[in-house]
Structure 1
Amino acid sequence: MSFARTAGMGGWSPVPRVNLLPAAEIERRDRTTLARRWFGGVVIALVVIAAVSAGTYALSMIADQRLASENARTTDLLGQLSTLSDVSKIRAVQKDLEAYRTEAMGTDVAWGPVLDTFQKLVPKNAEITGWDLTTGALPGDAAATETPGVTATLTLASSTPVDLVATVRGIRTAPGVLDADAVELTSASSEGSASTYTYRLTTTLDQSVYTGLYATKDK
């Protein structure tokens, strides 16, 4: 029951009102209102789910496209690499040839300057008439000035005696020389001619005499 004001002679006066709707109708209306709310909530939830699903699908499509692009790029790179297989084989052969050349020619020596060096080491009154030159090992980690490079057996000829001790001592102290020693001394003379003195010396030069033209170069 409710009250309302009505206009009369004495002004406004309360008039009672009674809600005559059955309880069942009121309950039905409440259920209808509640159902509408639930329906609205379900619709909103469906919209959110649809939006999330659409976003996920879009991201999946983008990821698939990127994957397809990367796969295509990988296939293209593999194709390019396959075309370079001949180049790789050629490079491998080149490296093998360079290694072989280094092993075969790593002890390359400029023999002219070496012989000039030996000629400067012997006395002025002697002449080199023969030589036997042997190269040493390939250049290694040791310093070139500490490793044997060329070992020589020199044959000297002179018409006058040579101070062999002083000659050997002078050769040993010369730059680039690791060792020197006297091996043999002979003299020969014929009737009516001057005597000829023959000396044999051994000496070893360090690897600074190597040209290094065929040494392995770091790349």
Structure 2
Amino acid sequence: MSTLVRTPAFKPGSLPRANLLPLSETRRREVRRIGRSWVTIGLGSLVVALLLIGGAFALNVQAALRLVAANADTDRVIAEIAELAPVSQAVAQRTELSGLVTQAMAGDIAWREAVGTIADALPSGVTVTGYALAAGQVPGDTAPEETVGAAGSVTVVSDEPISLVEATRALRGVDAILEVSVQTLAEEEGLYTYTVEVQLDQTIYSGDFAPEQATETE
């Protein structure tokens, strides 16, 4: 029986090569190559991690710097607002005073003259004994002769009966009176008491609290 023997093939013109290293050395070299590969991979991963950490740190520094700048701007704005505090207080005080003046204008009535206007239009012998008048609107852009300045009732007495029609007609002829009606209230011990329901326009306002008109400049 013949045995088949394979002979190595050689290329013409080349020297034959043979691996004479022991198998243990070949394995050792392979392990070293694999180890170097893992070391390279580890070092690359470490470099990437360091780059990521450095980038995050840089972003954190930038954010901190922006925060410091924003805080500086906030402090500057707060300081500017604090400098304007006296101005704000002055404006608030002026607004408050304007409100008080407006409230005062609503009751800015020459009460003695208002009641006297009614008394002068009544027949002789009639005496005003009391009145309950409430201030009307604050003077505005409307004509004072067309706007209610005060409204309510005036109580008068007379030792003689008076004509309600004639008394009402006489009162309606007064310029400052918008609406009026005279009513009988009572008669006691020879005295006749009447109630005058009246609305007066704003010409009865004294004008003491009216805002000063700006003077014209040349």
The TM tier, using the shorter chain, reads 0.5 to 0.7
Q: Which amino acid aligns with 1:150?
A: A
CA distance in structure 2 between the partners assigned to 1:2 and 1:168 by the alignment: 152
Identity in percent = 25
* TM-score in terms of structure 2 length: 0.55
CA distance in structure 1 between the partners assigned to 2:53 and 2:92 by the alignment: 55
Report the CA distance between 1:149 and its aligned residue.
2.7
Report the CA distance between 1:64 and its aligned residue.
0.9
CA distance in structure 2 between the partners assigned to 1:63 and 1:210 by the alignment: 70
The equivalent of 1:53 in structure 2 is 53
Report the CA distance between 1:51 and its aligned residue.
1.4
* TM-score in terms of structure 1 length: 0.55
Q: Which amino acid aligns with 1:62?
A: Q
CA distance in structure 2 between the partners assigned to 1:38 and 1:138 by the alignment: 98
CA distance in structure 2 between the partners assigned to 1:81 and 1:104 by the alignment: 33
CA distances 1:114-136 after superposition (whole Å, capped 9, x unpaired): 89x98xxx79xx89x99898751
Report the CA distance between 1:100 and its aligned residue.
2.2
When residues 109 and 148 of structure 1 are mapped into structure 2, their CA distance, relative to the original with a 3 A threshold, is closer
The equivalent of 2:29 in structure 1 is 29
CA distance in structure 2 between the partners assigned to 1:48 and 1:20 by the alignment: 42
Report the CA distance between 1:72 and its aligned residue.
0.5
Q: Which amino acid aligns with 1:91?
A: V
Q: Which amino acid aligns with 2:181?
A: A
More displaced stretch, 163-172 vs 92-101: 163-172
Report the CA distance between 1:170 and its aligned residue.
10
Report the CA distance between 1:42 and its aligned residue.
1.3
More displaced stretch, 80-89 vs 62-71: 80-89
Report the CA distance between 1:203 and its aligned residue.
2.9
Report the CA distance between 1:44 and its aligned residue.
1.3
1:91 aligns with 2:85: no
Report the CA distance between 1:5 and its aligned residue.
3.0
Q: Pick from 198, 202, 206: which aligns with 1:204?
A: 198
CA distances 1:130-179 after superposition (whole Å, capped 9, x unpaired): 98987515659xxxx9x983346499xxxxxx85336548979xx953x6
| Structure with greater strand percent | 1
The equivalent of 1:136 in structure 2 is 134
SS in 2 for 1:5: coil
Asked whether the equivalents of residues 168 and 182 of structure 1 are also in contact (C-alpha less than 8 Å), the reply is no
CA distance in structure 2 between the partners assigned to 1:100 and 1:29 by the alignment: 102
When residues 78 and 207 of structure 1 are mapped into structure 2, their CA distance, relative to the original with a 3 A threshold, is farther
Structure 1 spans left out of the alignment, 5+ residues: 9-15, 156-161, 185-198
When residues 89 and 138 of structure 1 are mapped into structure 2, their CA distance, relative to the original with a 3 A threshold, is farther
SS in 2 for 1:20: coil
When residues 130 and 25 of structure 1 are mapped into structure 2, their CA distance, relative to the original with a 3 A threshold, is farther
Asked whether the equivalents of residues 149 and 205 of structure 1 are also in contact (C-alpha less than 8 Å), the reply is yes
CA distance in structure 2 between the partners assigned to 1:96 and 1:2 by the alignment: 119
Q: Compute the RMSD of aligned alpha carbons.
A: 4.9
Structure 1 runs (4+) greater than 6 angstroms displaced: 129-134, 169-172, 206-211
CA distance in structure 2 between the partners assigned to 1:205 and 1:63 by the alignment: 72
CA distance in structure 2 between the partners assigned to 1:67 and 1:2 by the alignment: 81
Q: How many residues align?
A: 172
CA distance in structure 2 between the partners assigned to 1:182 and 1:7 by the alignment: 150
